[in-house]
Structure 1
Amino acid sequence: MALTPPFTREIAEKKVKIAQDLWNTMDPARVTKAYTEDSSWRNRTTFVKGHAEIEQFLTQKWAKETQYRLRKELFAFTDNKIAVQFWYEWWDVKEKSWYRTYGLEDWTFAADGRMQKRQMSGNDLKITEEERWFTTGVDVNSVEIGPQHW
């Protein structure tokens, strides 16, 4: 199965989980390869473009957001676009606190299947150790997520 546009539901769902698993490696160099060389991002209020800036952004992100565990779910898709909702938890090394980030992303893909544009909007919520969903050893895909859990 080619993971290139135009997307079917099956391909879109697979791409979302591949992205989830890739980001959970917390390996900036490896993650960067999933994007085109001229890929442009808006991550909240930060704008980056190209492999060097993406890798630098991710390196800084994961220096602050340690013990990062992410879950992404398909929200919608078209021929070459995918929208996802996501949740991730992380330990802030400076504040010594846990956070959960909730948000949405929209992605646009090049013909070769790499992401050409990524826009992310997210909100951070400080949580306690007891409120964590994605504890060590838990499969992030098995956690029930919904309004009753917020």
Structure 2
Amino acid sequence: MVLTRSPAETLWRSCNLVMTAFFALAAYVQINDPDAVLWMVIYMIPAILTLLVGLNPQITGNFIWKNFTKLHLFLCALGTVYLGFYLFLHTEGNILHEEEGRELFGLGIIMVWLNLCHVSTKNLVGRRVQLVFAIVISLCPFITWFYIYINKEMRSTWPTHCKTAI
């Protein structure tokens, strides 16, 4: 028996595999960060969860997958509140020039993507909109990373551990 996938399912799986690569790469670049272990774990969890969705999209209905995702989302939300409050009190310029701002942005990407995965089995009406949103979201981190990589002025104010990761 030959199993055929719809183009939408293939795109959804592909987006998840792209985001798996992004989260794994984000974990890797933490290697020389002062709090590397914490951030490597924060990024590897969604890398694994997203890989599972890429391999089997129905896993989002699994009790363990759902609850582990909810727990990680809750912890990321706590981190977002903490970092947001910290940045509100201490930031004087562009938040991407602050380590906490980049960390906040990373938590935001994690939360948006895991929420998108979490609702992927529930949302039957808006699947096309959800798929377009997934394609855009999965490309944004790489476009942003590329922009930051080519923008030497933006990188010039960063600490050494951020400049030497890749």
**TM-score, normalization by structure 1:** 0.31
Whose radius of gyration is greater, 1 or 2?
2
**Which structure features the higher share of helix residues?**
2
Higher strand share: 1
